[in-house]
Amino acid sequence: MGEATFYNNPACSKCRTVSGILAERGVEPDVVEYLQAPPDRAALERLLRLLGTDDPGTIVRRDEPAYAELGLDGAGRDAVLDAIAAHPELLQRPIVVVGERAVVARPPERVLELLE
């Protein structure tokens, strides 16, 4: 298994579940508290590549108030990525990266795809 990174929000129940799954499997990831240390545009581009998509809709939280406030519904790719970089609460969670693969762990059990 490659190096692991976990984009975490401690207030998120799904993040806590993923943290428990990783601990049960003996995985000690680099934990990114993304609300305190927001990923920049390059990091977001890398996440999309590791997720195997070019669609930033995969990593944006549409139910966050900022999504509507910024008028992101129907916005272009660049606008969505710039918004996530500027407003990290828009980043979907939890995201786990292992080596050169990543998943949005919704449901949390999706993280097992990276560990098997």
Provide the annotated active-site residues.
Answer: 12
Class of residue 56 by CB neighbours under 10 A (exposed 0-12, middle 13-18, buried 19+)? buried
Question: Do the Cβ atoms of 56 and 82 come closer than 8 Å?
Answer: no
Structure tokens at 38: 């927001």
Q: Which two tokens stand for residue 54?
A: 């070019």
